[in-house]
Structure formats: C-alpha cells, structure tokens
Chains A and B, each alone.
Chain A
Amino acid sequence: MTLSPRSFLLIATLAAGSVLAGAWAYTSAMRMRFLETGYPIWVAKQTILHRCDFGSVLVLGDSRAEAAIVPTPLPLRAANITFGGTTPIETYFFAREAMKCPQPPRLVIYSHSMPAFLRPGQGLWKTAARYGYIHFADLREVAATADAIHDESFASLNTSDGLTGVVRDITYAAGFPSIFVPSLVEARAIGRYETNRMLLERTASTRGRVIYPQPADK
C-alpha cells in the first residue's frame, strides 16, 4: 500500500512518539533496575530528607563527609545526606528543603572540599537533576543568580552530552530518556536491581554513611 507523503510523515511521527513514550515510561519508573550505584544512595538519603527524618543533626557536603561522618554511634539522632561529587549548589537546595521541615535540625555539619567552591560541576545535571532531585526551577534559579553576579562559570560549563542552557535544563529536569541510555546499555536494561536494592537498604540502615568504592556495577 502506497502512502501519501502526509500519511507517511504522520505514521513515522506516531512510531517515533510511541518508542520515545515507551522509553520515557520505562526510564521514569524503573530507575532502580538500570541506574548506576549512586542512584539508590541518593534515593535512601533523599527519603530521609523528604520525611524530615534527620533528627537533631544533619550532615551536608560531599564524599569526604559521606565516608567520614558516621551518624549511628552519635548520642543524638543524626543523618548524613552528603553526596559524592556534589558542590555547594546542590547542598544549598537540600539545606533549604531541610529548613522547611516542622522541626529543622538543631545542628548542621557542613563539609565541602575546597575545589567544589570554585566552579559548578557536571554532577548538578548528571546526578542531582537526572536522579530527579533538582528541578527545572532550581536550575533556572542558579542560572539567574549566576547571571546576576556576572559569574560565567555556570553558563560556560559543558556537559559531555554537548547540551547547554535551557535545553540542557529541560532535558535533565524532564528526564528525557536519552540521558539514561548509557546506563541502560551498561545494565542491559534490568541488570542492576539486586545491587541497587542492597545499597538502598544498606544506606538507609547506616543513616546515610557510605564508604567508597561501592560494589561493582553488574
């Protein structure tokens, strides 16, 4: 059956849309099955943050604090919601969320290594936004603040995907499935579930303390 050009374009668009929608649905709903081992660690810690379950002491910062500060032996109830590779930009948003809790922490331990203060990192998009914990409005807020203080390091930062500006912010904040494809391929789509589930439980039980390296990805 010969199709008119209009029908051809319509069918091709529908086919492309169906595949993209299917991929989008899978990558939104099944992240534990294919994302790298950082993801379950983020999920465990962000769950603590969203439930305002950090007790009296909240630890914020990067991987050094993540490994060094152990909440469970402390005399006060504490939680370590530091993340490896983050900068003060991500930490600012986590602290802001913590301060919205009915009972904000009495003590905050804040620890970032020096280079993190000097420039933004790809982790803002590659982990925080990609994992769904930094939203489009947050990314735009950072861009607007950087503009206001004439800091060009944010606008000039190149992520390895080649995207920049608003397009990059939309792509990551919306979780467009292309940003998950390398992980999908590495995990053969479902191959990391057991490792990730184990890491999620372990991170929750240690109140956020994580020692690197993590078990190798399957």
Chain B
Amino acid sequence: MLFVTFFPHLIAGPILHNRDIMPQFADHRTYRLSLENLSVGLSIFVIGLVKKAVCADPLSGIVTAGYAHTGGIGALTAWHLAFCYSLQLYFDFSGYSDMAIGLARTMNVRFPQNFNSPYKAQNVIEYWQRWHMTLTKFLTSYLYTPIAMATMRWRIAHRMGVNRAAQQTLGGFTAMLAAPMLITMALAGVWHGSGLTFLIFGLLHGGYLCVNHAIRVFYPGRRSPRLSAAVLRCLATYLSVLVASVFFRAPTVASALDVLTGMAGLHGIQTFPAFGLLHNAFLLVLAGVVWLLPNTQQIMHRYHPVLEDVQAPHPRLLAFGSDLRSALAVGVAAAVGLLALGGTTEFLYFQF
C-alpha cells in the first residue's frame, strides 16, 4: 500500500521498481526525521523548482503560440520554435524529476536517477540511457528483452545462429535487434499519447537506435577521442532528437511536417523571430546550463542523491556542500523559484 501511495513520483515519475524501494520502506530508520536528509532533499527540490518555474515555464507561451500557427513557417522561426521546445521539455521534465527525488529524500527515501544530461549524449543509444532513465529500464526489461528473447528462442528452434557472428548478418541483425527495437520504441511512442504523432516519434527514435546499433555491430571500432569529434557527435544526436521532438509536440502530423519543412527552408528564411535581446540572452543561458554545467545529481553527488553512483561535478566549485555558500544559494534560489511561480503552467509530463 505504501509503495502504491508514496506520492512524490506519482505525477510523472521516476518510474519506481519495488525492488529499489521496498528495502527502504522496510528500514525503520526511514521513519525518523533526519535534518540532513531534509536539507539535502529540500535543496534538490529547490533546484527542480528553479528549472521548472524559471527555465521551462517562460518558454511555454512561445511554444504554445508557435505550434498553434505552423502554416508557412520560415526557417529561422521553425528552428527557434523547435529549439525552445527542446529546452522547455528538458527543463520541465528534469525539473520535475528533481522535485520528486528531492521530496522523497526529505522523507529519507532515495529514488533512482531519471535524468543525466541527455543532450550531452554522443549517440542516440546513450541519449536513451540518460533521458527518462527509469522508462528506458522499464522498456528494456518488460518489452525489448522479452521480444528479443522470443526471437532468439525461435531462431534456436529453427537452427539459426544467435551469437555475435549471426548478429552481423542482415537477417540476424534485423530479427534480433532491429525488429525488437522498432516494436519497443513504437509502443514507447504510443505510451506517451494515442495520436499518430506519438507513434511517429517512437518509430523515429526506433529508427535512430537501429542505425546506431547497426554502426556498432557492422563497423565496430573506437570513437575518436578528439573534442571536435565529440562535439560533432553530440550535435548530430541533438539534431536527431530535435527532429523527433517536433512530432512529440505538434498537435497533428501536418503541423509537424510544416515545422520540419520550415526548418529545411522550404518556406523561405524569413527574419529571426523578434523576441528581443533579453529572450535571446535567456536562451543562451539555458543552452549554457544544458551543455556546459553539471546536472543536479552531479552537483549533489556528496550526498548520494539517487540510488546510482554519480560523478563529481566539473567544475568542483559547483559542488553542493553543507556550507554558508550553499545555504545562501539554496535560500535565494527557493525565493526566486517561488517568485517565478506567477506564470506557472502544468507539468508537460503530467499528461503522459
């Protein structure tokens, strides 16, 4: 009963497995007030609140208005719209996950990590290991693996190979990797909503993952360690995700295609949307937070914020500690988060 009614994760995750949570509920120390967990939990919650109220919500009006009128959208406007939505979704959902993790921590419960800087991923496989991580684990355990195992059993029964060499044949790859992946991601897309746009979103990601696995299987080799190569991989991954996110947000397939053809320049370039210097500076700051700063779990790593091990932040200066600087930062951030609630919208993931 407690597992089902433990409220912090109920609205939008992380998706909990009883294996992770029941041992914590069985520990009598969970039911005692811990001021350290309270301060750590509230600090995580405040970071999530700032992400949601300060970073994500101001973009909501632009995105809603933009997707309501997509006909003949110019290239710069379309890119601006897609970029704004990708930032809104990131800060909204990661902010919500932080709030859930922080709230649970105030009650001495650790949740699994759900976000690990997904836009820093250098390929789509890695992206799904960083984005809504608990959903990925759920999909892997309960959809992908059973389908892949069933395929393998069928191949064994028909005296077909299932080893690495068999995977490197077109038939083996299609049966053991591509088909289970496409089915899983199509179902994952439909899990988010019943429209055709969500199915296309899922199939697009399924396609990306198949291509990514095909490169891994057919062209194994070390990735270039150079920074420029890493940046290019990161950019390519982000652009792929960006294209799929247009289907995720657009109300209809037609409007998604409007935005995508706009991004391709088929409706002309037009001028850059006139949102002013402050808005553009705001987008730049958000992009800096996404790609250059450590994530919440890394900032809080000294206090083991989630069930998994977390890397220390870089730069170290951003590490959270029980010191005056962190206390003041949390206090000011809490006030700023509360003040920014004036124009709050619903959590994007609330509907899924």
Chain A interface residues (CB < 8 Å from chain B): 1-9, 11-20, 23, 160-162, 177-182
Contacts and interface: CB of A to CB of B under 8 A. Distances in A.
A19 B335 contact: yes
A8 B39 contact: yes
6 contacts: A5-B36, A8-B326, A9-B35, A11-B331, A19-B339, A162-B344
Given A1-B323, A6-B35, A162-B346, A181 B340 contact: yes
Given A6-B35, A12-B334, A16-B331, 6 more contacts: A5-B322, A12-B42, A15-B327, A15-B335, A20-B339, A181-B342
A25 B144 CA distance: 57
Closest 9 CB pairs of A and B: A15-B331, A19-B335, A5-B35, A12-B331, A11-B327, A178-B342, A16-B331, A181-B342, A16-B335
A45 B322 CA distance: 53
B335 A20 contact: yes
B2 interface: no
B343 A8 contact: no
Interface in B308-338: 321-324, 326-328, 330-332, 334-336, 338
Nearest to A2: B322
Contact of A14 (B42, B331, B340, B345): B331
Given A2-B321, A5-B322, A12-B334, A178 B341 contact: yes
A1 B338 contact: no
Nearest to B43: A12
A19 B328 CA distance: 11
A114 B148 CA distance: 65
A105 to B, nearest CB: 37
Nearest to B335: A19
Interface residues of B, number: 29
Given A3-B322, A3-B324, A16 B334 contact: yes
Nearest to A179: B342
A161 B195 CA distance: 28
B328 A11 contact: yes
- Where chain A touches its partner, the secondary structure class is helix
B62 interface: no
Contact of B332 (A1, A9, A16, A182): A16
Given A8-B39, A8-B322, A161 B336 contact: no
Given A20-B339, A160-B343, A161-B342, A12 B328 contact: yes
B257 interface: no
A177 B330 CA distance: 19
Given A1-B324, A14-B331, A15-B331, A23 B339 contact: yes
A179 B339 CA distance: 8
Contacts of B326: 8
B11 interface: no
Contact of A5 (B38, B335, B340): B38
A177 B331 contact: no
A161 B335 contact: no
A18 B342 CA distance: 19
B121 to A, nearest CB: 32
A20 B330 CA distance: 13
Contacts of B341: 161, 178
Nearest to B282: A185
A171 B345 CA distance: 17
B35 A15 contact: no
A35 to B, nearest CB: 13
Contacts of B342: 161, 178-182
B175 to A, nearest CB: 49
Contacts of A23: 335, 339
Contacts of A16: 331-332, 334-335, 338
A178 B39 contact: no
Contacts of A15: 327-328, 330-332, 335
Contact of B323 (A2, A161, A178): A2
A6 B343 CA distance: 32
Contacts of B35: 4-6, 9
B64 to A, nearest CB: 12
A89 B340 CA distance: 29
B331 A19 contact: yes
Nearest to A19: B335
Contacts of A182: 342-343
A22 B189 CA distance: 46
A18 B334 CA distance: 11
Contacts of A9: 35, 38-39, 42, 327
Contact of B339 (A8, A161, A178): A178
Contacts of A13: 331
Interface in B37-89: 38-39, 42-43
| Most central of B321, B338, B340 by chain A CB within 10 Å | B338
A217 B334 CA distance: 30
Contact of A3 (B323, B332, B336): B323
Contacts of A161: 341-344
Contacts of B39: 5, 8-9, 12
